[in-house]
Amino acid sequence: MKHNKLIEKLSAYYDQRLSQPERWEMETHLQDCPSCRKTLREWKKISAFLFSKSLFSEWNEDIFTQKVMAHLEPAPPFSWKALLPWTAPVLGSALAAVWMWSAILPNIPGFDSDSVLLSDNTSTLKSKVSLSSEPRSPQNPAITLISYDEDQ
């Protein structure tokens, strides 16, 4: 009776999927049951023969890959889902930039966002220059660079 009940669990034991108490029960049974022991031995041996990887014929991996790639469509399948992982960080960064612009920059002494937004290029550059703590001079490389841009 116990044998018939336990033999149903033999496959799960073989796969090490029994709980600890079930495994102990099975191992105790196996000590006294040559039939179950033999079944386990046979499964192992048959499986080793039928599913031996060394029996598979060799083939060239690079050629296989080339064949698969040659059968693919020219353009990969488009998916909006694929864009989701990228759109979330981009949107987040954009919102953070807007928040910084509206909340932090107006509080910087000497910074006038209106002059930046509403002025032409020249005044924009001037207001940027006014943020610099360095005095305006020909030796200041930052100012030199901006002047170069203006010339362009």
Partner 1 sequence: MAAIEDRLLVQQILSGDKEAYAVLVQRYQRKVRGYCQSMLGDPVQADEAAQDSFVKAYQSLSKFRGDSAFSTWLYRITTNHCLDMLRRRKRRPTVSWDALMEQETGFLQKLASTEAQAASTLENRDLADKILSTLPADYRTLLTLREAEGLSYEELGTVLHCSVDAVKSRLSRARKAMQERVRHFYDPKDVHTSKKGKEVHET
10 Å Cβ neighbour count for 124?
14
Percentages (nearest 5) of helix, strand, coil residues in the chain = 70, 0, 30
| Residue closest to 1 by CA, chosen among 33, 31, 45 | 33
Contacting residue, 1, 15, 21, 120, with partner 1 by CB under 8 A: 15
CB-wise, 53 or 138, nearer to partner 1? Answer: 53
- The pattern of x and - marking residues 25 through 64 that bind partner 1 according to CB under 8 A reads ----------x--xx--xx-xxxxxxxxxxxxx-x-x--x
Looking at residues 83 to 122 of the shown chain, list those that interact with partner 1 (rule: CB under 8 A).
83, 85-86
Question: Which of 1, 20, 34, 69 touches partner 1 by CB under 8 A?
Answer: 69
Q: Is residue 16 a contact point for partner 1 (CB under 8 A)?
A: no
Size of the chain, expressed as the number of residues it contains = 152
Q: What is the dihedral of CA 28, 29, 30, 33, to 10 degrees?
A: 140
Q: Which is nearer to partner 1, 4 or 31 (CB)?
A: 4
